[in-house]
Amino acid sequence: MTYIASTGRYGDMIYNRCGNSGLMLPALSLGLWHNFSESDHFENIREILHLAFDKGVTHFDLANNYGPPPGSAEITFGKVLREDFKSYRDEMVISTKAGWKMWDGPYGDWGSKKYLVSSLDQSLKRMGMEYVDIYYHHRPDPYTPMEETMATLDLIVRQGKALYVGVSSYSAAQTEKAIALLRELGTPCLIHQPKYSMFERWIEGGLLDVLGNEGVGCIAFSPLAQGLLTNKYLKGIPEDSRAALHRGNGAIEEGEITEDKIKKVSRLNEIALNRGQNLAQMALSWVLRDERVTSVLLGVSKPGQLTDSLKCLNAAPFTASELHMIEDVLRTN
């Protein structure tokens, strides 16, 4: 059946300006790290992607290595793009990245010009696209001069293979340097993609200030701590959860669901219920409470999780007392 996007798709979404750029991103974006590979159920993938776009989620985030096997999330996304989304391409912001190990030998990892250029060519082929909207360097590279990596991002934009560029998981100091180098080259740094959630707050120690001062956007990955910041693990580890599935590649493992964490999750869950949200929704609203955060980058395994999570956008702002109670939970050992 031909996919026709919902006519009301822009009605309920909030779009935030990405730093000082001309680009608006949905407050909630969809990431394809897990659950979108060739070993996942294709009709489920398709349903999630259709639902997302129908709800105004215009931004889809990929990377060369998303799978397993690496590259297969780009292949499945490319199939849906080709078969269903073709006429909507210009209504979407599609990103990919390189920086983690993708292929054997010295040219398939880190941040050299050799790696970033060939990896993007491969990604474009897998997705069947002429250009991506955002190309990221996926992690800082201690071995390659940052001048080379940033000059490559600039080159890629000039070649028309990406419209914008960004960095992921760079420290505050590394980000400052990357922003300055890119500015000098004439290609602004659009966005930073850091890990950020109630359980992972490193960006509050300087990075958010750098991004705010420099007018660079911020898209927070793993805002639910891979599902831990939901009510799903309160009564054990469900069979179909990420922790039970041992997906590897940095996916949350059963051993990370500790009693201490569940105690906190349980208290956070109470706070969420008292403000009329479930915990997943509150965890997303909490990440979005800082105006410097452009978008939360959510992962889902089922369409219902997306519908549920999107309700975070309707929440009332946090009261000072709610924020205080959350801090209290997060700071106790």
Interface with ligand NAP includes 64 (CB under 6 A)?
A: no
Determine the Cα–Cα distance for residues 57 and 216; give it in Å rounded to an integer: 21
- Cα 8 to Cα 55, 151, 309, 328, distances in angstroms: 8, 41, 19, 40
The 3-class SS string of 123-146 reads HHHHHCCCCEEEEEECCCCCCCCH
C-beta separation of 34 from 251 below 8 A: yes
Interface with ligand NAP includes 32 (CB under 6 A)?
A: yes
Query: Where in 144-203 is the site for ligand NAP (CB under 6 A)?
Result: 168-169, 193
Interface with ligand NAP includes 294 (CB under 6 A)?
A: no
Interface with ligand NAP includes 59 (CB under 6 A)?
A: no
Least CB distance to ligand NAP at residue 302 (A): 6
Number of residues that bind ligand NAP (CB under 6 A): 30
Determine the Cα–Cα distance for residues 77 and 95; give it in Å rounded to an integer: 11
C-beta separation of 135 from 165 below 8 A: yes
Sort 200 into a burial class: Cβ within 10 Å, 0-12 / 13-18 / 19+.
Answer: middle
- Measured from the CB atom, the residue of 85 and 196 that comes closer to ligand NAP is 196
Interface with ligand NAP includes 309 (CB under 6 A)?
A: yes
Query: Where in 239-278 is the site for ligand NAP (CB under 6 A)?
Result: 241-242
Interface with ligand NAP includes 72 (CB under 6 A)?
A: no
Query: Where in 101-140 is the site for ligand NAP (CB under 6 A)?
Result: 138
- Measured from the CB atom, the residue of 159 and 267 that comes closer to ligand NAP is 267
- Measured from the CB atom, the residue of 87 and 229 that comes closer to ligand NAP is 229
- Measured from the CB atom, the residue of 245 and 329 that comes closer to ligand NAP is 245
- Cα 28 to Cα 25, 72, 296, 309, distances in angstroms: 8, 23, 5, 9
